[in-house]
């Protein structure tokens, strides 16, 4: 890397300094490390690392700066303790920062400059954004598939819920009419028909929530960086389904109540 590495990739310098043009005369005498390496070396405070001498590849080098950790791989992998030296490196990539609105012009200028200095080597390039996106490709595909299945499951569950609610109301239509004639409270009727469905939903939740937690936790264990499973992730969907169920029953009873109560007795 060179002295512009920090600015090109917008990395955060936590302590000390990064390389400048004066360091080019002594590239193997100084290093910049990341936060993970500072912690691995046992520095309680990051500023304690700056100025320290550490052995690297059988050489004693001075730590001149500490930069923040950044992902160079998928979140499935932990951030490795790393150090960064001034020099071309073993892969010899040239990183070019440009305005994405002038991408074609930037490629043309880079190609012409490359041919001027490296005529015997082909000009090959890739975009860092695409390179990073490939690390998340499998996760994006999984998310898309789960989203489609989730939408389908919610749709089918909604149809089943509507059908079951409609069946309960129709089976007890006469009973509802008699209760209304004798002055039964409207919300009492809603509770009367909702309790069976609510019991089924609660019984399902008892089975589904632990299973969903186990599966989710197992999937998240593949990642070094992951969210904590909050109980609200499982409780809120159940509450939403309960509210939806009661709303459907409420609407159906309201519709039935608008009809002639005596007509329902025939």
pTM as predicted: 0.60
Q: Which long-range contacts (CB under 8 A, 24 or more apart) does 191-196 make?
A: 193/165, 193/168, 193/169, 193/249, 193/253, 194/245, 194/246, 194/249, 196/168
Which pLDDT score is estimated for 37? 93
168-178 pLDDT, tens digit per residue, is 777 777 777 77
Q: Indicate whether 143 and 125 sit together in one domain.
A: no
Q: Indicate whether 259 and 142 sit together in one domain.
A: yes
Q: Indicate whether 119 and 81 sit together in one domain.
A: no
Q: Indicate whether 125 and 141 sit together in one domain.
A: no
Q: How far apart are CA 143 and CA 98, in angstroms?
A: 31
Tokens describing residue 224: 């070094």
- Domain boundary residue, one of 91, 118, 153: 91
Q: Indicate whether 153 and 225 sit together in one domain.
A: yes
Which pLDDT score is estimated for 260? 46
Which pLDDT score is estimated for 224? 76
Average pLDDT for residues 115-144, to the nearest whole number? 83
Average pLDDT for residues 181-210, to the nearest whole number? 80
Number of structural domains, the chain?
3
Average pLDDT for residues 247-263, to the nearest whole number? 66
Structural domain including 33 reads: 5-91
Q: Indicate whether 141 and 208 sit together in one domain.
A: yes
Q: Indicate whether 126 and 194 sit together in one domain.
A: no
- Domain boundary residue, one of 91, 122, 148: 91
Reported as type and span, the H/E element at residue 61 is strand 59-67
Q: Indicate whether 171 and 113 sit together in one domain.
A: no
Q: Which range among 34-38, 170-174, 233-237 shows the weakest confidence by mean pLDDT?
A: 170-174
Q: Indicate whether 30 and 121 sit together in one domain.
A: no
138-152 pLDDT, tens digit per residue, is 778 888 898 899 889
Tokens describing residue 94: 């040239």
Assess whether pLDDT exceeds 60 at residue 82. yes
Q: What is the phi/psi pair of residue 125, to 5°?
A: -150, 165
Q: How far apart are CA 168 and CA 163, in angstroms?
A: 9
Q: Do 78 and 222 meet the contact criterion of CB atoms below 8 Å apart?
A: no
Which pLDDT score is estimated for 105? 92
Nearest alpha-carbon partner for 187 in 103, 91, 257, 101: 257
Sign of the torsion formed by the C-alpha atoms of 98, 100, 102 and 106 = positive
Q: Indicate whether 147 and 230 sit together in one domain.
A: yes
Q: Do 256 and 264 meet the contact criterion of CB atoms below 8 Å apart?
A: yes
């Amino acid at each position: 890397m060179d002295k512009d590495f920090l600015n090109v990739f917008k990395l955060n310098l936590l302590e000390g300094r990064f390389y400048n043009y004066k360091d080019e005369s002594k590239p193997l005498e100084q290093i910049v490390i990341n936060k993970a390496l500072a912690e691995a070396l046992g520095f309680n405070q990051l500023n304690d690392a700056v100025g320290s001498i550490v052995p690297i590849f059988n050489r004693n080098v001075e730590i001149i700066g500490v930069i923040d950790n950044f992902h160079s791989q998928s979140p499935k992998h932990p951030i490795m303790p790393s150090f960064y030296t001034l020099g071309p490196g073993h892969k010899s990539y040239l990183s070019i920062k440009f305005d994405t609105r002038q991408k074609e012009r930037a490629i043309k200028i880079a190609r012409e400059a490359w041919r001027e200095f490296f005529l015997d080597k082909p000009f090959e390039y890739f975009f860092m954004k695409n390179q990073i996106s490939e690390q998340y490709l499998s996760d994006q595909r999984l998310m898309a598939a789960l989203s489609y299945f989730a939408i389908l499951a919610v749709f089918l569950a909604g149809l089943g819920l509507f059908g079951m609610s409609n069946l309960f109301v129709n089976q007890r239509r006469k009973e509802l009419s008699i209760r209304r004639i004798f002055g039964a409270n409207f919300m009492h009727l809603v509770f009367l028909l909702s309790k069976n469905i609510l019991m089924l939903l609660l019984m399902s939740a008892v089975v589904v929530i632990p299973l969903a937690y186990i599966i989710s936790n197992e999937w998240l264990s593949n990642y070094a960086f992951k969210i904590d499973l909050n109980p609200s992730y499982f409780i809120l969907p159940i509450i939403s389904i309960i509210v939806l169920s009661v709303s459907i029953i409420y609407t159906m009873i309201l519709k039935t109540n608008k009809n002639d109560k005596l007509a329902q007795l025939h």
